[in-house]
Amino acid sequence: MNARLTPDTTNPELDAFWMPFTANRQFKANPRLLARAKGMYYTTDDGREILDGVSGLWCVNAGHGRSEITAAVTKQLETMEFAPAFQMGHPIAFELANRLAKIAPPGLDRIFFTNSGSEAVDTALKIAVAYHRARGAGQRTRLIGREKGYHGVGFGGMSVGGMVNNRKFFGSSMLPGVDHLPHTLDLEHNAFSRGLPQWGMHFANELERLIALHDASTIAAVIVEPISGSAGVVLPPAGYLKRLREICDKHEILLIFDEVITGFGRVGKPFASQAFDVTPDLITTAKGLTNGAIPMGAVFSQRKVYDAFMQGPENSIELFHGYTYSAHPVACAAALATQDVYAKEGLLTRAATLSPQWENAVHSLRGLPHVIDIRNYGLIGAVELESRQGKPGARGFDVFLKCFERGVMVRQTGDTLAMAPPLVIEPKQIDRIVETLGAVIRETD
Ligand SMILES: Cc1ncc(COP(=O)(O)O)c(C=O)c1O
């Protein structure tokens, strides 16, 4: 019997692209096509302006169409489009690493380049396991993630991640020896908290329970997002991350912060580690590193981790890991130009200035129909709606769609609407995003 083919869609020219994390058939029946972007706005293929409330996908922190980045990328393409980074080097890779080391939290000044957040996560997990081996503790291979965590889509990131839909389709194709902390979202105690919830630091003590179960001598690392975005913005209760750090220190477990969305100014400091005054052993980044212009990720490593590898014969490769495009010259050029823009315009701290207005604006939606929680920190916000009976995500999708039709792009996860606008946003644009979202929520059943 022939396999049943996908029915023809009304837009056959859209059929060939198998879109990621997308309801393909629904999208292709009613496409939302973005054609151009400048500053705070996208323009659709039919000429409508869309105010970007989510920095593309949490990456375009300096706003769209930055001519400085375009010029740097163009120049680099003309000068040298590619150079290998295996047993070879090119100057701007070193320049970029030095530059990033200057804004990194103390000690995290050894930097490994990847091409995405997923690759940064898998790289960090591999470094953690190999680090323990290098220091004579090769039995430490277990990894601890967290429920609701998102760490990209590689097998490593998927395994330590905790979003059910990202896991259930892939059966037992997960890394063995992974366990999960409980998530920290608790509407009963913390709904409508402004900034960090004050209740729930004790969730960190669950790490002691997992250590008692598995024994510290088997555990390589704990990985968490300081603030998780993909699961609908989950904030760490006050004191929670510090407590995780203390427990990891006590048991010689590496602590990895996945800062793929919180890095590069999203929370008012270069990294959330600095905003929360908790220094992990490894930080994963991507997205805002190049303002989304060219794919790139990076793992920031404590010097003690790097140094553990720098032993044995000097002619031996210390870490058997890397990507053809690690430290790609064009990505390095984009990242350097991006860091220049951030520095020149004070964007790595601008969210701290804007966050009081942002907080007031998003919390003004409290009391609207179906709104069961509002969360914010830095220039991140989320409005959670009650799900329709038996139809989780349906109300959230309707709201997302109507906002887009009215010229505002937000991000929908289930029934939560998340926002993370470019850090160049002006106060009146904050009002427009929130007013549009509020008007749409009011009229959505
Ligand atoms: C915290 C976190 N880690 C990792 C990733 C994966 O990054 P990428 O999509 O670049 O692979 C994301 C993407 O949203 C993320 O939010």
Q: Both tokens of residue 184? A: 């920290």
Instruction: Read off the pLDDT of each residue in 429-439 and give the average, rounded to a whole number.
Output: 98
Kindly calculate the radius of gyration of the chain based on its CA atoms and give it in whole angstroms.
Answer: 22
3-state class of 374 per DSSP? strand
Where in 148-303 does DSSP place strands (E)?
A: 178-181, 219-224, 254-258, 282-285, 297-301
| Average pLDDT of the residues in 194-199 | 98
DSSP alpha helices (H): ranges in 291-346?
A: 303-309, 329-345
Q: In angstroms, rounded to a whole number, what is the distance separating the alpha carbons of residues 301 and 279?
A: 11
Q: For residues 298 and 119, give the distance between their C-alpha atoms in angstroms, rounded to a whole number.
A: 9
Q: Which residue has the higher pLDDT, 325 or 3?
A: 325
Flag whether pLDDT at 241 surpasses 70.
yes
Q: From the CA of 326, how far away is ligand 1's center (Å)?
A: 17
Position of tokens 């496409």? 31
- Per-residue pLDDT reduced to its tens digit, 335-382: 999 999 999 999 999 999 999 999 999 999 999 999 999 999 999 999
Residue 118 CA to ligand 1 centre (angstroms): 6
pLDDT in tens, 99-108: 999 999 999 9
Q: In this structure, is the dihedral angle defined by the CA atoms of residues 75, 80, 85 and 88, taken in order, positive or negative?
A: negative
Separation of alpha carbons 223 and 253, rounded Å: 10
pTM for the full predicted model: 0.97
Report the atom number in ligand 1 closest to the C-alpha of 57: 14
Cα–Cα distance measured from residue 215 to residue 146, given in angstroms and rounded to the nearest whole number: 18
**Residues flanking ligand 1, CB < 6 Å:** 116-118, 121, 150-152, 225, 229-230, 258, 260-261, 286
Decide if pLDDT at 6 tops 70: no
Distance CA 128, CA 134 (A): 10
Q: Residue 107's CB: how many other CB atoms inside 10 A?
A: 15
Q: What is the dihedral of CA 278, 281, 284, 289, to 10 degrees?
A: 70
Say yes or no to pLDDT of 1 above 90.
no
Mean pLDDT across the stretch 247-256? 98
Backbone φ and ψ for 232, nearest 5 degrees, come out as 100, 30
Which residue has its alpha carbon closest to ligand 1 atom 3? 151
Shortest-distance atom of ligand 1 to CA 287: 10
Q: What kind and span of H or E run contains 209? A: helix 206-214
Distance CA 120, CA 254 (A): 16
**Do 438 and 368 touch, CB atoms closer than 8 A?**
yes
Q: Encode pLDDT of 110-125 as tens digits.
A: 999 999 999 999 999 9
Structure tokens at 176: 């063995």
* Distance from the alpha carbon of residue 153 to the mean position of ligand 1, in angstroms: 8
When mean pLDDT is compared across 9-18, 43-52, 192-201, 210-219, the lowest value belongs to 9-18
Q: Is the pLDDT of residue 21 over 80?
A: yes
CA of 155 to the centre of ligand 1 (A): 13
**CA nearest ligand 1 atom 7, residue:** 117
* pLDDT for 171 beyond 90: no
Distance of CA 360 from the midpoint of ligand 1 (Å): 28
Q: What pLDDT is recorded for position 2?
A: 47
